[in-house]
Structure 1
Amino acid sequence: MGFSSSASVPMWRHPEFKRGAKDMTAITLGISAWGLVTGVAMIKSGLGVGLSLLMSLVVFAGSSQLAALPLLASGAPLWVVWATAFCVNLRFVIFSAQWRMYFGHLARTKRLAMSYFAADLNYVAFIRRFPDIKPAPEQVPYYWGGVALNWTSWQVPSVLGIFLADRVPTQWGLGFAGVLALLGLALALLKDRNSWVAAAVAATAAVAAYGLPLRLNILVAIAAAVAMGLLMEHTFPERSRGTS
């Protein structure tokens, strides 16, 4: 058996592909709600249908999209938009470094393709499925099964939100619904004391710096959370590893 699939079994029919998709099934409702809200938000923020579709398909990072949209709508400098998106997505550096221990043997083109589909909760599911850090034949099918469902669960509602945004009344309060969906997904990532402490510090910093212009309180919160996370990892290294 190769690292992609058996010679006689297509990737999508591999048992681990199906298991990867199954492990993501329980959270697809939250992902879909978040995608729908983001699709509507892109149109409501002034982006046209074309740019919104491009952003959904190319950026494919809901938290950074929602963080960047108010900045784009307010005419914030481009460096602020880029810095915000970069800081919001810094967590993927950690995810990728961990995944490299499993997929580092693959060709660079394959790893680049896999990096586009990488997502927070796929990382959580993968680490729970494969707590031992060593390559195994079933890991690639499992990864693709999870990210395939995650990508579809995001993109289909996002595209629907883009095309139906003009028919969604503003008073429906979709912005609040998006916050709830994002909060639900974020809570799934708080798996130990270190992550809970970092999250609490981020929330406190965001509120304390709320008065800053251009929503720079987001950057302050991220910087505070990263600093606290590094401090906690150094102080309590035995607790820095997630649940298996």
Structure 2
Amino acid sequence: MTTSTVKTPAKSAYWAGVRDGAPFVLIAVPFATLFGVIATDAGLTLAQAMGFTILVIAGAAQFAAVQMMVEDASIAFVLLAALAVNLRMAMYSASLVPYLGAAPLWKRACVSYLNFDQTYITSVARYEARPEMSVSERVSYFMGVATPITPLWFTMTFVGIVAGQAIPDAWALDFIMPIMFLAMVSPMLKSLAHVAAAAMSVAVALALVDLPAGTGLLVAAGAAMLTGALVETWMERRAR
């Protein structure tokens, strides 16, 4: 057997990531298409909309920013809305450090660019289930998850921009976002602390729904983290 045909652990991890990331294509296709349509409606040119989706590559933040543009908000408020929605990525990055912090800088830069909801949640679940994975395997798996999603995100955004008004309103593609988050988060609720944090985030987000875009979500995220930490501490003390 030649060296080129040997399946290394890193290659195996990569293809496992591709397999686990493939189902998200069913969500990425309509989601990206919808963004392309909405970006066009907001007055963005083809170059602007594509630049937006390639540089930001974060659906929720893109939708929040474009919605603010549709409402004729100032640039400052558009940026604030996108930043508020995307601050969860900072939490994602912090939680990835124990798993990927020892990787070379260029690999961490690639992970940083491709660190969105699907890659993060799927990868962390894998890392927790298989703590014996090496850093190289973890990076390869992360990249594998991103492989089927990212090119389609770019491609279908372009399709949405070009198709524009040809997509009927009756399709109501905007339902994809909440379903996507529910599908990703539900399997992660493995303990009382997780459930309590999720319940608190929902309650606070609904209570603050009338606040400016993204503000309520930030408060809800903080309340959820505090609740989860308190419940976990309580459970550890009780176990002793």
The alignment of Structure 1 onto Structure 2 pairs a total of residues equal to: 231
More helix by share: 2
For the structure 1 residues 219 and 155, does the alpha-carbon distance in structure 2 shift closer, same or farther, using more than 3 Å as the test?
same
Cα root mean square deviation, aligned:
3.1
Contact 1:202–1:222 (CA under 8 A) maintained in structure 2: no
Q: How does 1:29-178 map onto structure 2 within 5 Å?
A: 29-131=26-128, 132=131, 135-178=134-177
Q: Could you tell me which residue of structure 2 aligns to residue 234 of structure 1?
A: 230
SS in 2 for 1:111: helix
For the structure 1 residues 199 and 235, does the alpha-carbon distance in structure 2 shift closer, same or farther, using more than 3 Å as the test?
closer
User: Once the two structures are superposed, what CA deviation does each residue of 1:2-31 show, in whole Å capped at 9, x if it has no partner?
Assistant: xxxx988799x9222111101112232122
- Which runs of 5 or more structure 1 residues have no equivalent in the other structure? 1-5
SS in 2 for 1:14: helix
Deviation (angstroms), 1:109 = 3.2
Deviation (angstroms), 1:68 = 1.4
The CA distance in 2 between the partners of 1:145 and 1:92, in whole Å, is: 19
For the structure 1 residues 7 and 158, does the alpha-carbon distance in structure 2 shift closer, same or farther, using more than 3 Å as the test?
same
Contact 1:103–1:135 (CA under 8 A) maintained in structure 2: no
Deviation (angstroms), 1:226 = 1.8
The CA distance in 2 between the partners of 1:119 and 1:223, in whole Å, is: 21
Deviation (angstroms), 1:71 = 0.7
Residue identity in the other structure for 2:219: A
The CA distance in 1 between the partners of 2:231 and 2:85, in whole Å, is: 24
Residue identity in the other structure for 1:154: W
User: Once the two structures are superposed, what CA deviation does each residue of 1:61-87 show, in whole Å capped at 9, x if it has no partner?
Assistant: 001111111111112132322222222
TM-score (norm: length of structure 2): 0.80
Residue identity over aligned pairs, in percent, reads: 24
Deviation (angstroms), 1:237 = 4.3
- Which runs of 5 or more structure 2 residues have no equivalent in the other structure? none
Contact 1:18–1:142 (CA under 8 A) maintained in structure 2: yes
**Structure 1 range deviating more: 35-44 or 100-109:** 100-109
**Structure 1 range deviating more: 132-141 or 27-36:** 132-141
For the structure 1 residues 176 and 9, does the alpha-carbon distance in structure 2 shift closer, same or farther, using more than 3 Å as the test?
same
Contact 1:102–1:134 (CA under 8 A) maintained in structure 2: no
SS in 2 for 1:106: coil
The CA distance in 1 between the partners of 2:171 and 2:157, in whole Å, is: 17
User: Once the two structures are superposed, what CA deviation does each residue of 1:20-48 show, in whole Å capped at 9, x if it has no partner?
Assistant: 10111223212222222222221122222
For the structure 1 residues 183 and 106, does the alpha-carbon distance in structure 2 shift closer, same or farther, using more than 3 Å as the test?
closer
